[in-house]
């Protein structure tokens, strides 16, 4: 696999049972690239290790005044230098290719997993951890996979050199053969402590990054309450903890590096001392001494790769563990699908709760627990984070459809939708049926003032579609972001549209017009709205009330307000049915008079009168 061939047509199915198994799986899946790196690495290291032999032959030829052997030594040295240059060049090329392809494979796997799990991913793994795995951890994993072949080449070279020295000069070869393995394993007792310190540093750095991200996201609120200095001090303290942890980790790694320099130096001194002693006794020649000395000196280079592979593994092991954890997550429903691709039509039914949304109708769902509403909305879209009975669309289980078909059939808009940076035209440019034009969707979502604000703040042509939206729409208010996200969902025009609190951040008059706009634009399409707003509920064709995890009542909004105390308690924000009656004149914390027991009917009548007043105001506005 070459870099120009990325991305992979299929990154494969990873072995995510553990971090080491995942690393081994990555290694096996780029075996050809690893063998290329190993071959070029052997050429490079063997060429480096052969230089002392050439130097020894040349020195001995000069001592013996042999011109022929001196010329032979020069030719061998030129050949070895050429092999060194070619080997190092292509080793670097192969190693970088292995690094990038391994990182690209992991990123593709993570992207595929994120697309498969959808919003359920961040419910099971923190968003910050997903970002950390797909950025820094990917790089560390690629580093280890790339370094493994170079380490193997270095280890094979050391074995070959030790064997050669034993044959070439047994007396000194024994000392080298015994000393080099000691050098290679000398730092192993220090690696666990170094790894622990590195893990502490990464953990503290992750906390500091999370704190910084939260502070930036809530900067507007912090400034409003004067809390930016407090959070700045907290970040300073977290940053200092990261610095101290990094210094402690660096001390340990510097100690390991010092040992890697000290011990080869001691071995070199030992070899020279013993070699001089043997040369004085006439047991070895000067050329042989130079050869052994040069070999030991140059072997410190491949020995360095033992330190590198130890560092690479210590850093990549926790990264691989985190990546394997994310990749081991499974969707609660099948992703392949056992049915042919296609979008079924018909009623939407959830067997777990008994919720039925008739085809082509606007169904409003009221839940006493907002979290339960969010989980049900995800389940209706096939994004359940836990196993549950499959949702049926037209009698067809969603989990029997291919994932693409299931998501084409049902679109779920979260209560906190995200707007990506770019122009408004790019925001609304997405796969759609083509039946809904962007201007119609913007009008139905009541985005007129949003377009005016975008044009006013833009330096472009004056066309609101070319106005730029900042990251996550931070320059817009909550209600403006909510309406743009609603317009985006309306443009998509899916067979089933599920909206979770789509108007929680807008005023009542705008909310009433949005309800009419959505109702008109989605005529003939199935729409499910999770809300407790009387304005939206009054425009729905059908209202379903869930008490806990089961359907408790079905009907029109006004009928349910009068006949169902539990429904009325949720919609009118009353205290729970059965609670002790409040004293006369008691008000809630938000200033609204309490309505318990028999007073609930009075409160319900007030809600209905308010709905009638809003309808009258809308008729006056339309007439004007």
Residue 589, pLDDT > 50, answer no
C-alpha distances (whole Å) from 308 to each of 143, 304, 347 are 10, 6, 61
pLDDT above 70 as % of the chain: 84
Closest CA to 480 of 417, 409, 537: 417
Domain spans of the chain, in order of start: 3-328, 348-415+495-576+587-623
Report CA torsion sign: 124, 126, 131, 132: negative
CATH architecture of 3-328: Up-down Bundle (1.20)
Q: Which CATH class is domain 348-415+495-576+587-623?
A: alpha beta
554 sits in which H/E element: strand 550-555
For range 348-352, the mean pLDDT:
91
Average pLDDT over residues 297-305: 78
Average pLDDT over residues 363-379: 86
User: CA–CA separation, 150 vs 43, rounded Å?
Assistant: 11
- The alpha carbons of the chain give a radius of gyration, in whole angstroms, of 35
Q: How is 210-251 classified by DSSP, letter by letter?
A: HHHHHHHHTHHHHHHHT-HHHHHHHHHHHHHHHHHHHHHHHH
Residue 460's pLDDT band (cuts 50, 70, 90): low
Q: Taking the model in full, what pTM does it have?
A: 0.66
* 579 band by pLDDT with thresholds 50, 70 and 90: very low
Q: What is the mean pLDDT of residues 5-21?
A: 89
Per-residue pLDDT for 459 more than 80?
no
**Burial readout 30-47 (b: 16 or more C-beta within 10 A, e: otherwise):** beebbebbbbbbbbbbbb
Q: How confident is the model at residue 603 (pLDDT cuts 50, 70, 90)?
A: low
With beta carbons less than 8 A apart as the criterion, state whether 595 and 584 touch. Answer: no
Spatial CA neighbour of 486 closest among 416, 392, 572: 416
**Closest C-alpha among 529, 543, 526 to residue 348:** 526
Burial of residue 537, with CB atoms counted within 10 A of its CB: 0-12 exposed, 13-18 middle, 19 or more buried: buried
Distance CA 324, CA 597 (A): 55
Distance CA 300, CA 285 (A): 24
pLDDT reading at 624 higher than 60: no
Domains 3-328 and 348-415+495-576+587-623 share a fold: no
**pLDDT value at 365 more than 90:** yes
For the purposes of burial, counting CB atoms within 10 Å of the CB of 338, is it exposed (0-12), middle (13-18) or buried (19 or more)? exposed
């Amino acid at each position: 696999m070459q870099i120009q061939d990325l991305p992979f047509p299929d990154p494969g199915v990873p072995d995510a049972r553990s971090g080491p198994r995942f690393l081994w799986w990555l290694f096996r899946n780029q075996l050809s690239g690893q063998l290329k790196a190993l071959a070029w690495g052997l050429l490079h290291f063997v060429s480096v290790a052969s230089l002392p032999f050439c130097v020894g032959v040349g020195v001995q030829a000069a001592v013996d005044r042999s011109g022929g052997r001196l010329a032979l030594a020069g030719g061998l040295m030129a050949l070895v230098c050429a092999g060194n240059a070619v080997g190092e060049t292509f080793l670097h090329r192969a190693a970088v290719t292995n690094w990038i392809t391994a990182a690209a494979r992991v990123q593709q796997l993570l992207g595929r997993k994120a697309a498969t799990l959808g919003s359920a991913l961040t419910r099971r793994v923190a968003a910050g951890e997903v970002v950390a795995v797909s950025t820094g951890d990917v790089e560390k994993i690629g580093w280890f996979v790339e370094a493994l072949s170079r380490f193997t080449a270095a280890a094979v070279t050391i074995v070959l050199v030790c064997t050669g020295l034993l044959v070439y000069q047994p007396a000194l070869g024994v000392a080298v053969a015994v000393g080099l393995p000691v050098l290679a394993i000398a730092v192993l007792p220090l690696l666990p402590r170094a790894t622990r310190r590195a893990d502490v540093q990464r953990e503290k750095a992750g906390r500091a990054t999370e704190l910084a991200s939260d502070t930036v996201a809530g900067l507007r609120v912090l400034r409003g309450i004067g809390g930016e200095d407090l959070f700045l001090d907290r970040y300073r303290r977290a940053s200092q903890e990261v610095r101290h942890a990094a210094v402690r980790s660096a001390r340990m790694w510097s100690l390991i590096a010092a040992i890697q320099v000290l011990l080869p130096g001691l071995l070199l001194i030992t070899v020279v001392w013993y070699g001089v002693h043997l040369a004085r006794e006439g047991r070895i020649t000067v050329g042989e001494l130079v050869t052994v000395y040069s070999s030991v000196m140059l072997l410190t280079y491949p020995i360095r790769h033992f330190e590198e592979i130890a560092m690479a593994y210590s850093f990549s092991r926790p990264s691989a563990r985190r990546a394997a954890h994310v990749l081991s997550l499974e969707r609660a429903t099948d992703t392949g699908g056992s049915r042919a691709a296609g979008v079924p039509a018909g009623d939407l039914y959830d067997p777990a709760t008994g919720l039925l949304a008739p085809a082509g109708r606007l169904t409003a769902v009221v839940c006493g627990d907002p979290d339960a509403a969010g989980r049900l909305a995800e389940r209706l879209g096939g994004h359940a984070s836990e196993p549950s009975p499959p949702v049926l669309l037209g009698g067809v289980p969603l989990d029997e459809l291919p994932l693409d078909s299931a998501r084409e059939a049902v679109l779920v808009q979260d209560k906190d939708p995200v707007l990506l940076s770019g122009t408004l035209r790019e925001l609304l440019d997405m796969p759609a049926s083509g039946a809904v034009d962007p201007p119609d969707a913007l009008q139905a979502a009541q985005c007129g003032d949003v377009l005016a604000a975008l044009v006013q703040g833009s330096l472009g042509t004056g066309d609101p579609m070319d106005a730029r939206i900042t990251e996550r729409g931070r320059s817009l208010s909550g209600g403006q972001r909510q309406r743009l996200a609603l317009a985006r969902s309306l443009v998509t025009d899916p067979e089933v549209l599920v909206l979770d609190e789509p108007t929680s951040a807008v005023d009542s008059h705008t909310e009433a017009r949005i309800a009419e706009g959505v109702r008109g634009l989605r005529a003939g399409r199935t729409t499910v709205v999770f809300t407790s707003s009387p304005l939206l509920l009054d425009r729905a064709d059908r209202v379903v009330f869930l008490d806990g995890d089961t359907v408790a009542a079905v009907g029109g909004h006004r009928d349910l307000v009068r006949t169902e105390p539990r429904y009325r308690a949720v919609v009118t924000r009353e205290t729970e049915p059965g609670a002790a009656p409040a004293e006369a004149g008691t008000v809630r914390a938000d200033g609204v008079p309490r309505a318990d027991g028999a007073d609930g009917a009075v409160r319900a009548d007030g809600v209905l009168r308010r709905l009638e007043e809003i309808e009258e105001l809308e008729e006056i506005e339309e007439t004007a």
